Chain A
Amino acid sequence: AAGVIQSPRHLIKEKRETATLKCYPIPRHDTVYWYQQGPGQDPQFLISFYEKMQSDKGSIPDRFSAQQFSDYHSELNMSSLELGDSALYFCASSPWTDGDTQYFGPGTRLTVL
């Protein structure tokens, strides 16, 4: 069965650069969630989208923005990167009929030098 796909798997950037992370949900899932997991920390919810509209917002910095496209994939755009942005970024998807079950992708590891 198809799973959540995240791209790239690993990204290394320098301070003040920008990064774009992509998430392709499971087919027929219309809700996407973004999480940030720092070293040794629990995942922190950033933002979610339902039917291409922002549905909930968590601890997402102003330097970050995200959107969901017509094919339901989502992109997380990160600007003016800081060392503290180094983390694992997980994307999860769920169908509208079962919002309590989130299917997580493999994550993108971002390293900011």
Chain B
Amino acid sequence: EDKVVQSPLSLVVHEGDTVTLNCSYEVTNFRSLLWYKQEKKAPTFLFMLTSSGIEKKSGRLSSILDKKELFSILNITATQTGDSAVYLCAVEVTGTYKYIFGTGTRLKVLA
């Protein structure tokens, strides 16, 4: 059975801290891995990763994929209160357009 597991489930940090969110997967036909940020509305797309070892960066956020060990990490440096959200990881299964979501990591950044 295909599955995506995110860790930790919840995280509380102070502004300025660096956090690392983990996403591991077991999928028979991997196509891509996506990270989303979800606040009180629909998820916002952050990154799509398809190749191992290539880091993608956007401001204070970065992500990398390891297709051999079947995981991805999302790093957020110099966290701000506005980073507080649920971060979702999803894996797209090739040929089916199916996305398998993890349960998310709830991040709370304290001022």
Contacts and interface: CB of A to CB of B under 8 A. Distances in A.
Interface stretch (B11-19, B53-61, B64-72): B11-19
A10 B84 CA distance: 14
Given A11-B8, A12-B8, 4 more contacts: A8-B12, A8-B19, A11-B12, A14-B9
Interface string A11-26: 1111001010000000
A7 interface: yes
Contacts of B27: none
B46 interface: no
A17 B7 CA distance: 9
Interface of A: 5, 7-14, 17, 19, 113
Interface string B95-111: 00000000000001010
Secondary structure at the B interface, as helix, strand, loop or mixed, is strand
Contacts of B19: 8
A52 B11 CA distance: 28
A19 B8 CA distance: 9
Interface of B: 7-14, 17, 19, 108, 110
A11 B10 CA distance: 6
A90 to B, nearest CB: 16
Contacts of B10: 10-12
Contacts of A19: 8
B9 A9 contact: no
Among A8, A14, A113, max chain B CB count under 10 A is at A8
Contacts of B110: 9
A10 B12 contact: yes
Given A8-B19, A9-B110, A113 B9 contact: yes
Contacts of B17: 7-8
A5 B15 CA distance: 12
